[in-house]
Amino acid sequence: MLKFLKQVSDYAKDSFQAAKYIGQGLAVTFDHMGRRPVTVQYPYEKLIPSERYRGRIHFEFDKCISCEVCVRVCPINLPVVDWEFNREQKKKKLNHYSIDFGVCIFCGNCVEYCPTNCLSMTEEYELSAYDRHELNYDNVALGRLPEKVTLDPMVQPMRELAYLPKGVTSPHDLPKGSQRAGRRPEEILEEIEAEKAKRETASAESEKN
Amino acid sequence: MGRVLVRNLHILSVDMESGIDLQGSVIQILGGFGIPAGLAKVIWMPVPMLLMLVAATVGVLVTVWLERKISAAAQQRVGPEFAGPLGTLQPVADGLKLLFKEDIIPTRADPWLFTIGPAIVVIPVFLSYLIVPFGQNLVITDLSIGAFLWIALSSITPIGLLMSGYSSNNKYALIGGLRAAAQSISYEIPLALSVLAIVLMSNSLSTIDIVNQQADYGILSWNLWRQPVGFIIFWVAALAETERLPFDLPEAEEELVAGYQTEYTGMKFALFYLGSYVNLVLSALLVSVFYLGGWSLPIPVETLTQWLGVSEFSPVVQVITGSLGITMVLLKTYLFVFLAVLLRWTTPRVRIDQLLNLGWKFLLPVSLANLLITAALKLAFPVAFGG
**Record: contact B76-A22, CB cut-off 8 A:** no
**Residue B58: pLDDT over 80:** yes
**What was the ipTM of the complex prediction?**
0.71
Contacts of B186 (CB under 8 A, 6+ apart): B240, B355, B356, B359, B360
Out of A15, A26, A41, closest to residue B346 by CB: A26
Residue A5 Cα, gap to closest chain B Cα (Å): 15
- pLDDT tens column, B300-327: 777 777 887 777 777 777 778 888 888 8
Minimal C-alpha gap between B241 and chain A (Å): 20
Lowest mean pLDDT among A145-159, A168-182, B105-119, B324-338: A168-182
Inter-chain CB proximity A37 and B346 less than 8 Å = no
CB pair distance less than 8 Å for B73 and A33? yes
Closest CA in chain A for residue B339: A26
Give the minimum alpha-carbon distance from B74 to chain A in angstroms, rounded to a whole number.
5
The band of B8, judged by pLDDT with boundaries at 50, 70 and 90, is very low
Compare CB distances from B74 to A32, A36, A39 and report the shortest one's residue: A32
Q: Return the pLDDT at A99.
A: 93
Q: Is pLDDT larger for residue B17 or for residue A41? A: A41
The A residues from 28 to 57 touching B (CB cutoff 8 Å) are 28-30, 32-33, 35-39, 41
* Residue of B229, B239, B339, B342 to mutate when probing chain A, most A C-beta within 10 A: B342
The residue in chain B having the minimum alpha-carbon distance to the alpha carbon of residue A39 is B77
Q: Where are the alpha helices (DSSP H) in chain B?
A: 2-16, 22-32, 37-44, 46-74, 90-100, 111-127, 146-154, 157-167, 171-202, 207-213, 223-226, 228-241, 253-256, 266-291, 301-308, 315-344, 352-357, 364-380
What pTM did the predictor assign? 0.78
pLDDT top residue among B297 and A209: B297
Q: How far is A45 from chain B (nearest CA, A)?
A: 14
Q: What is the pLDDT of residues B177-207, one digit of tens each?
A: 888 888 888 898 999 999 999 888 888 888 8
Pairing between β-strand A156-158 and β-strand A45-47 as defined by DSSP bridges? parallel
In whole angstroms, give the CA distance from residue B166 to residue A64.
Answer: 67
* Residue B54 dihedral angles phi and psi, to the nearest 5°: -65, -45
Tell me the C-alpha to C-alpha distance, in Å, between residue A72 and each of A79, A143, A163, B34, B258: 9, 21, 36, 99, 49
What DSSP string describes chain A? -HHHHHHHHHHHHHHHHHHHHHHHHHHHHHHHHTSPP----TTTEEEPPPTT---SEEE-GGG-----HHHHHSTT---EEEEEEETTTTEEEEEEEEEETTT-----HHHHH-TT--EEE-S------SSGGGGEE-HHHHTPPPPPGGG-TT-EEE--GGGSPTT----TTPPTT---SS--HHHHHHHHHHHHHHHHHHHHHHHH-
Calculate the average pLDDT of chain A.
Answer: 89
Sign of CA dihedral B289, B161, B269, B356: positive
Nearest to B90 by CA among B113, B62, B118: B62
A193 vs A205, which has greater pLDDT?
A193
List CB contacts (< 8 A) between B357 and chain A: none
Rounded CA separation B32/B35 (Å): 7
Model confidence over A78-120: pLDDT tens digits?
Answer: 999 999 998 998 889 999 999 999 999 999 999 999 999 999 9
Question: Once rounded to an integer, what is the mean pLDDT over residues B284-299?
Answer: 86
Q: Please give the share of chain B, as a percent, with pLDDT higher than 70.
A: 94
Residue B3, pLDDT > 50, answer: no
Question: Does pLDDT of B5 surpass 60?
Answer: no
Note which residues in 61-90 of chain B have CB less than 8 A from chain A.
70, 72-78
The confidence score (pLDDT) of residue B20 equals 65
Percent residues over pLDDT 90 in chain B? 14
Q: What is the pLDDT, as a whole number, of residue A37?
A: 82
Nearest residue on chain A to B76, judged by CA atoms?
A: A37
